[in-house]
A and B are shown apart, each in its own frame.
Chain A
Amino acid sequence: AAGVIQSPRHLIKEKRETATLKCYPIPRHDTVYWYQQGPGQDPQFLISFYEKMQSDKGSIPDRFSAQQFSDYHSELNMSSLELGDSALYFCASSAGTVYEQYFGPGTRLTVT
């Protein structure tokens, strides 16, 4: 069965650079969530989209922005990167907001 695809899987950036993370949801899933997992921590909700509209926003820095496109894939744009942004970034998708979420393998971002 098709799963959530995230790219790239690994990304190394320097401080103050920008990064773009991409997420391709499971076919026919219309809802995308982004989570950030710091080292040894639990995943923290960043932002979500339903039918290409932002549905909720969590602890996402103003330096980050995201959108969902007409084909339902989503991109998380991160600017002025800081060392503290180093983390695993997970995307999850669901068929509507009331169903269980399926997670991608994550993008490991390292900021040096």
Chain B
Amino acid sequence: GDSVTQMEGPVTLSEEAFLTINCTYTATGYPSLFWYVQYPGEGLQLLLKATKADDKGSNKGFEATYRKETTSFHLEKGSVQVSDSAVYFCALSGMDSSYKLIFGSGTRLLVRP
């Protein structure tokens, strides 16, 4: 079945460092890909998305490119801030009838001042 694999955390960075969180997927067909962010004690917020190969999703300085050849959707940010500390989930929405989301295990990011 469809699945998402994320790099394990926690990832600890200093403020203004470069961030990469790796995400790869296994799916039939052409899924849509998403990054969601969960701040402590809160729900899931959609960060960015891409619906077809070579699409680049971007929001709030975060970017991810849908790479079909490597089945990847890595999240990047050029300069992280303390406020970016959260758990980041990579997810896919497959081609089945309901388009339910399948999540990776999440990566906790801790940014230190």
**B100 contacts across to A, CB distance below 8 A:** 33, 45, 48, 56, 58
Report the stretch among A11-19, A65-73, A99-107 that lies at the interface.
A99-107
Which B residues from 56 to 99 make CB contacts under 8 A with A?
Answer: 89, 93, 96-99
Say whether A102 contacts B46, CB under 8 Å: yes
Cβ of A50 within 8 Å of any chain B Cβ, yes or no, is yes
Cβ of A97 within 8 Å of any chain B Cβ, yes or no, is yes
The A-B contact count (CB < 8 A) is 55
Main secondary structure of the interface of B (DSSP, over half): strand
Which B residues from 94 to 109 make CB contacts under 8 A with A?
Answer: 96-106
Say whether B45 contacts A103, CB under 8 Å: yes
**B25 contacts across to A, CB distance below 8 A:** none
**A100 contacts across to B, CB distance below 8 A:** 32, 34, 46, 49
Say whether A45 contacts B97, CB under 8 Å: no
Number of interface residues of A (CB under 8 A): 24
Question: Other than the known A42-B106, A102-B46, what 13 A-B pairs have Cβ atoms closer than 8 Å?
Answer: A33-B100, A35-B101, A41-B106, A42-B89, A42-B104, A48-B98, A48-B100, A56-B100, A58-B100, A90-B43, A90-B44, A101-B101, A103-B43
A-B interface, 10 closest residue pairs, ranked by CB to CB distance from nearest:
A56-B98, A42-B103, A103-B44, A55-B98, A105-B43, A45-B100, A97-B99, A48-B98, A103-B43, A106-B43
